[in-house]
Amino acid sequence: MTGYIIRRILQLLPVLLISSAGIWAMIYAVPGTPIGALVGENATPEQVQAAIQRVGLDQPMLVQFWAWLKSALVGDLGRSIFSRDPVFDLIMGRAPATLQLGLGATLVGLILGIPVAVLSALYPNSWLDRSLSGWSALALGVPTFWLGILLILLFSVELRWLPSASTYVSIFESPWGAIRNTFLPALTLGVYVSGIFARFLRASLLSEMKADYVRTARSKGLKERDVVGRHVFRNALLPFVTVVGLMMAAFIGGTVVTEAVFTYPGIGRLLIQAITQRDYPLIQGVILFILVVHVVINLMVDVLYAYIDPRIEYS
Amino acid sequence: MSEPVLSVRGLEVTFTGGGRPVPAVRGVDFDVYPNEVLGIVGESGSGKSVTSLAVTGLLPETAKVQGSIKLADVEVTTADREVLRQMRGQDVGMIFQDPTTTLNPVFTIGRQVTEGQVAHGQIPAGNARGRGIELLREVDIPDPTGRVVQYPHQFSGGMRQRAVIAMAMAGRPRLIIADEPTTALDVTVQAQVLSVLAKRQADTGAAVILITHDLGVIAEVAHRVAVMYGGRIVETGPVHEIFKRPQHPYTVGLLQSLPRIDAAEERLVPIRGQPPNPARLPTGCTFHPRCPIGRDRERCRTEDPALREVVEGHRSACHCVEEVAALLADTATPARAPATVAPQAAAAQAPLLAVDKLKVHFPIKAGILRRRVGWVRAVDGVSLTVNAGETVGLVGESGCGKTTTGRAIMGLIKATGGSVRFDGQEVTRLSPGELRKARRNMQYIFQDPYSSLNPIKTVGDIVAEPLHIHGIYEEMGGAKRIAELFELVGLPRTVLGRYPREFSGGQKQRIGIARALALQPRLLILDEPVAALDVSIQAQIINLLQDLQKELGLAYLFIAHDLSVVRHISDRVAVMYLGKIIEESEKTTLYETPVHPYTQSLLSAVPVPDPDARHTRRRIVLEGDIPNPSKPPPGCYFHPRCFRASDRCRVEEPAFTPYPGLPTRTACHHAGPLGASS
């Protein structure tokens, strides 16, 4: 297993290299430069030229890329063109907040989604199944910004239980403060993703229910609860954890709309800000971060596979 | 006799899900007693599996069950869910067909074997492991302590099925229902599993219902037999009576359509037509459209015959039961003259296909850098020839490399070494374009007629496709040629515009054969062409293949695991074990006087459809399983399972050489007929 993880991490390097080159090419394809915004509307051509030289935009593209790559390898992602802060620090300042929201949202999604799926699969095509499917469709269909506003109206404006604008409070410093501040955005995202989780898991459970080992389990005289809850559930988890991993990676990579509704200080808002300012080093850094999150979570999902299914051996 | 364990009366099962109700079981009565094996025989759709699921209350909710099923003290048809759950595992245990899918892949064998007893409170969960070890030991699984914590994928097929038997028997139920328990297993493993089942039955005194399509297995183990057709029992009686004096035309048909390993028949007598679709059953006697007696009789067409006693304990549902005996006599003489193509004449010329020391090795990769750490020697030096107009059978158990051999000859898999010459031309080193041309003369027919036809094309287009690929559709006669091909394989030309799903398994295999014949090949490589078919249909396809061979002068390489079918169709037979041919001979010699111990064991393990043979035939039950082809044993690959193995066999690999006095070649240090040296 250790050998497998090392190999996967080694395979990660070319992936990151190719993707970061892609990110570079993409940004240069976008019209406009950050210089105008940097020096102001009334700058003289000399001032513009000086600014270009200062941030290195006069160098050939490959040289810029190579310089960036060399420093990126040692964790130096350059400095933001605007704030002059190191990009790495800016991202790490936002990452814990995003991580906390992403994990919270996934947790809410699982808590809501799994029971819905199991109940649906126990009584397929019953009125219960139909109403639960309706619920999933609703959870998927309501736009998150709209649900977020509704939740703020209910919990912050009407009931005055929770703050309407969330700030980041670490769960390790103040668990209660963290829950108060993360609950509403996590619920907003969690409801949405519970719809996805419920649909996937229901389909996965129902297809597993047709497997031969289910008939065997019944023929032994097991309770239906155990047949579905143990035998079927564990097998149905395999495709399900892939979906959970994908959604979790998406959340940790930043959720622009929900962060905006709750003014939550996450990666998504950092990226939007960087894009509107054409802050190239910051854009590159954030996208690289999102990429790394996806790759790491994929690796975790693959490792989890081996724990769920003994047939999978990574050697 | 004592009280029956199970008593079924007037059982009717109708599926009501969507559309018209489908009667799957229509009035079935039977009893099963302790210590007895009741064999239920029937083809697909006969209602045999539905009957067994009804007995255990495991039918889906769309099934409507009427009549009475009394198992132990439970009336299954009216009992509530909890009573049925208590009954399953305690009063009745089930063994299903495919042990690769009936066990849950993510739980240990030990847990699955004992889980039923834990659920019924027969043993505390803390004792489950010890009990698991005990149960595995009872079914002869070596090293039960180590095995109990393993997962199903770490068990071989035969061990899995023994674990399933242990599981079904764990709660010492009074009734065991075994639904095709050995159909997915190799013959030598089948023999092991049947003997374990018999031993456990003797230990517990349980009653056993054995459901199978295999008349050999029935003759081997059943005491009484019920033959099902169209959702009813059409004949039932003691096993000797059924095989010696069958009283129903369908039973006679089944026995006659079966190729036999212990005799050389010239031609099989198939049952005409198809088994009935339960949704569209014929009127009157459901067998009348296929019956040689009642096909044109008014009474058979209109009146469903009752099951009535013919001799004591022997009942038949036939209006014309007194005419059945004549059917048997009719076929004592061969229905047709023997084949006139003489392979000897062909043998004088150069062989059509000559395979020499063919090797196919697959690399095993491991480690961080995925380096090659070994080879799986799937095919390891196979040499064989096929002459024009001749059939060569290639037999062996699963994993022996017979399919890989066939595919490598076709060029579908790249050969690692050796040569394949077709009509004098070396084909292993051809470019893809040249290979495609060479393949026109060599066609492959796959096992599974269900998945080898593209479902979104009409069958006419499917058969025409090879002609289009080679750009010779018009040249070969276009639509007219396609229609001819359909007639050649016994299908009317009116079906050309239909889609594969509208055809039965046997018809699909006919379409597959028509497609292979489109390019006028000279050699067909047939990979298990009848393995997925019912007995009566299998006989039709075998006869078709024999007729086509005579008509078109085709050569066949017939790859199969069924030794009886291979004996029937082949001129010469080669036996494979772990990637090598270990014995090859003219058919009759190989079957009558095998000289290699593996061939001898293999032949002795095949169940013969004759209940008398139970006591007279000598049985060699092989120990263990086929070794892993990536780690073959040193010396002779067969020595760990061989009853003649000596020290020499453990170190020195035997050469494949002619055996003196017989037209046989074999690879064994101690080759010789049975009885000569053992």
Name the residue among B421, B509, B517 with its Cα closest to residue B465: B517
Which of A7, A212, A235 comes nearest B106 by C-beta?
Answer: A235
Quick one: DSSP state of residue B473? T
Whole-number percent of chain B with pLDDT over 90? 51
CB contact under 8 A, B368 and A6: yes
Burial of residue B334, with CB atoms counted within 10 A of its CB: 0-12 exposed, 13-18 middle, 19 or more buried: exposed
Q: What is the CA radius of gyration of chain A?
A: 24
Say which residue the tokens 């459209």 belong to: B289
**Gap between the Cα atoms of B455 and B210, Å rounded:** 35
pLDDT tens digit string along A110-129? Answer: 999 999 999 998 888 889 99
Which of B96, B112, B168 comes nearest A215 by C-beta?
Answer: B96
Quick one: DSSP state of residue B29? E
Residue range B522-539: average pLDDT? 88
**Gap between the Cα atoms of A241 and B483, Å rounded:** 52
Contacting residues of B for A224, CB less than 8 Å apart? 81
pLDDT at B286 exceeding the cut of 80: yes
**Gap between the Cα atoms of A252 and A99, Å rounded:** 5
DSSP annotation string for B173-221: -SEEEEESTTTTS-HHHHHHHHHHHHHHHHHHT-EEEEEES-HHHHHHH
CATH number of A90-308: 1.10.3720.10
CATH number of B6-229: 3.40.50.300
Name the 3-class secondary structure at B271.
Answer: coil
Closest-CA residue of A relative to B173 is A220
Query: pLDDT band at residue A34, thresholds of 50, 70 and 90?
Result: low
Query: pLDDT band at residue A37, thresholds of 50, 70 and 90?
Result: low
CB contact under 8 A, A212 and B90: no
pLDDT tens digit string along B184-213? Answer: 788 888 888 888 889 889 988 999 999 998
Answer with the residue of higher pLDDT: B366 or B402. Answer: B402
| Domains of chain A, residue spans | 2-87, 90-308
Q: In this structure, are strands B664-666 and B580-586 parallel, antiparallel, or unpaired? A: antiparallel
* Residue-level pLDDT at A191: 92
DSSP annotation string for A93-155: HHHHHHHHHHHHHHHHHHHHHHHHHHHHHHSTTSHHHHHHHHHHHHHHHS-HHHHHHHHIIII
pLDDT at A235 exceeding the cut of 80: yes
CB contact under 8 A, A216 and B104: yes
**Which phi-psi region, left, alpha or beta, contains residue B658 (left: φ > 0; alpha: ψ -120 to 50)?**
beta
Contacting residues of A for B57, CB less than 8 Å apart? none
Query: pLDDT band at residue B490, thresholds of 50, 70 and 90?
Result: confident
**Gap between the Cα atoms of B351 and B385, Å rounded:** 6
pTM, full prediction: 0.83
pLDDT at B677 exceeding the cut of 50: no
**Gap between the Cα atoms of B313 and A212, Å rounded:** 36
* Residue-level pLDDT at A48: 78
**Gap between the Cα atoms of B620 and B187, Å rounded:** 11
Tokens standing for B420?
């394949």
pLDDT tens digit string along A200-230? Answer: 999 999 999 989 999 999 999 999 888 988 8
CB contact under 8 A, B104 and A315: no
Q: In this structure, are strands B74-75 and B207-212 parallel, antiparallel, or unpaired? A: unpaired
* Residue-level pLDDT at B338: 42
Do residues A35 and A51 lie in contact, with contact meaning Cβ atoms separated by under 8 Å? yes
**Which phi-psi region, left, alpha or beta, contains residue B163 (left: φ > 0; alpha: ψ -120 to 50)?**
alpha
**Gap between the Cα atoms of A90 and A289, Å rounded:** 11
* Residue-level pLDDT at B390: 94
Quick one: DSSP state of residue B33? -
pLDDT tens digit string along B81-122? Answer: 899 999 999 999 999 888 888 999 999 999 999 999 999 999
Measured on CA atoms in the order B47, B53, B59, B65, is the torsion positive or negative? positive
Contacting residues of A for B151, CB less than 8 Å apart? 310-311
pLDDT at A2 exceeding the cut of 80: no
Answer with the residue of higher pLDDT: B539 or B333. Answer: B539
How distant is the Cα of A278 from the closest Cα of chain B, in angstroms?
41
Name the 3-class secondary structure at A229.
Answer: helix
Return all residues near B22 (Cβ < 8 A) that are at least 6 apart: B14, B15, B278, B279
Contacting residues of A for B153, CB less than 8 Å apart? 310-311
* Residue-level pLDDT at A72: 77
Q: How far is CA A308 from CA A19, B106, B425, in A?
A: 31, 7, 52
Residue range B536-560: average pLDDT? 92
* Residue-level pLDDT at B341: 44
State the ipTM, two decimals. 0.80
- In chain B, CATH 3.40.50.300 sits at 6-229
**Gap between the Cα atoms of B165 and B144, Å rounded:** 15
**Helix intervals (H) in B431-504:** 432-439, 459-469, 478-488
pLDDT at A42 exceeding the cut of 80: no
Answer with the residue of higher pLDDT: B309 or B262. Answer: B309
Name the residue among B676, B642, B615 with its Cα closest to residue B239: B615
* Residue-level pLDDT at A110: 95
Closest-CA residue of B relative to A234 is B106
* Residue-level pLDDT at B331: 53
pLDDT tens digit string along B338-388? Answer: 444 444 444 457 899 999 999 999 888 766 566 777 788 889 999 999 999
Do residues B386 and B557 lie in contact, with contact meaning Cβ atoms separated by under 8 Å? yes
CB contact under 8 A, B98 and A212: yes
CB contact under 8 A, B119 and A211: no
- Give kind and range of the element (H or E) at residue B249: helix B249-256
Quick one: DSSP state of residue B270? P
Collect all residues from B whose CB is shorter than 8 A from any CB in A: 56, 58, 81, 85-90, 93-94, 96, 98, 101-107, 112, 115-116, 119-120, 151, 153, 164, 167-168, 171, 366-368
> What does the mean pLDDT of chain B come to?
88
CB contact under 8 A, A223 and B85: yes
**Gap between the Cα atoms of B479 and B263, Å rounded:** 43
* Residue-level pLDDT at B55: 94
**Gap between the Cα atoms of A154 and B545, Å rounded:** 77
pLDDT at A81 exceeding the cut of 80: no
Contacting residues of A for B56, CB less than 8 Å apart? 219
Residue range B314-329: average pLDDT? 88
Number of C-beta neighbours around residue B484 at 10 A? 15
Tokens standing for A130?
């139909």
**Gap between the Cα atoms of B248 and B254, Å rounded:** 10
